[in-house]
Amino acid sequence: MLQVEDLHAGYGASEVLTGTTLTVKQGTLVALIGANGAGKTTTMRAISGGLKPSRGKVLLDGQEVQGLDASRIARLGLAHSPEGRKVFGPLSVEDNLLLGAYSRLPRFFGYHAQAKDDLDRVYDLFPRLRDRTRQSAGTLSGGEQQMLAIGRALMARPKVMLLDEPSMGLAPVIVQEVFRTIRRLKEEGITLLLVEQFAKSALEVADYAYVMERGRIAVEGTPAELGRNERVLAAYLG
């Protein structure tokens, strides 16, 4: 469903990605782990168009999307829940969710009725958001904002969803809740690429995983295989 081939990207003269290759098959959850600065978030941004790759290919459902604007890639079915959540603070919770479905809703009127089923689905997944539909997103707690960011990405009914550091800066209890949510998304058959600091928890939910080092994939395999790899064990799962 999502294929990344020999991706190079960076900021100005410094190249962060030096040939990343990975595949996310339909209906699977793939984890991308690695140390800080290895290029995980840069990979996500280069896939979703926030950063233009200098070389390499990104195929979404077989179609080449590298170099397109982020908004265009989003309309083609890629939802990216970015690092740091990036909810629209001044807007209400419900407006944030509606904007998640922006590309397939009417622009002026009647959008609410058309999005009702999707809204209900997100509120069933995150009942705490249902109590706060009118509240502005900036006033939510970190955990609630993360739920909102995931819900907003779900609203797009994406072909592939990128989840960047969903546990960042959250209390341990909330982190567990986030992982329960990720497990539910997986059960619903959503195709997911997950970037995580908590490598152990990520490997528990993933079908397949890539380990990044210095801008490229160093090791890959199923969580069981990685669990037997001594280098990975020492560096990330200790």
Partner 1 sequence: MNAQIIGQMAVSGALMGLVYALIAYGFQLTFATSKSINFGQGELVMISAFFSLTLTNLGFPYWAMVPGGLLFGALMGLVVERAGVRLALEQKSEGWILLSIIIGLFFFSAAENIWGRDDRPFPTPISADPIHILGVDVTRLELSVAVGVFAIMGLIELFKRRTLLGKAFEAVSADRDAAELMGISSTRTVMLSYGLSGSVAALAGILVSPITTVGPTMASALILKAFSVAVVAGLDSGFGVVLVGMFLGALESLASFYLGSGWREAPGLILLILALALRPNGVFGKATIRKV
Q: Give the burial string for 156-174 (b: 16+ CB within 10 Å, else e).
A: bbbbbbbbbbbbbebeeeb
Among 27, 106, 142, 169, interactor with partner 1 by CB under 8 A: 106
Q: Of residues 48, 145, 191, 201, which one binds partner 1 by CB under 8 A?
A: 48
Choose which of 49, 53, 151, 166 interacts with partner 1 (CB under 8 A): 49
In the complex, the smallest distance separating the C-beta of residue 88 from partner 1, rounded to whole angstroms, is: 4
Residue 224, judged by CB atoms within 10 A of its CB (0-12, 13-18, 19+), counts as exposed
Q: Looking at beta carbons only, is 38 or 156 nearer to partner 1?
A: 156
Number of Cβ within a 10 Å radius of residue 7: 25
Asked if 91 touches partner 1 (CB under 8 A), the answer is: yes
Q: Is 90 in the site for partner 1 (CB under 8 A)?
A: yes
Choose, by CB under 8 A, the member of 34, 39, 53, 100 that binds partner 1.
100
Of the ranges 79-87, 122-130, 187-195, 198-206, which one interacts with partner 1 (CB under 8 A)? 79-87
**Closest to 132 measured CA to CA, from 95, 84, 182, 171:** 95
Q: Distance between CA 201 and CA 205 in Å, rounded?
A: 7
Q: Is position 163 an interface residue for partner 1 (rule: CB under 8 A)?
A: no
Considering beta carbons, is residue 105 or 219 the nearer one to partner 1? 105
Angstrom distance (rounded) from CA 49 to CA 52: 6
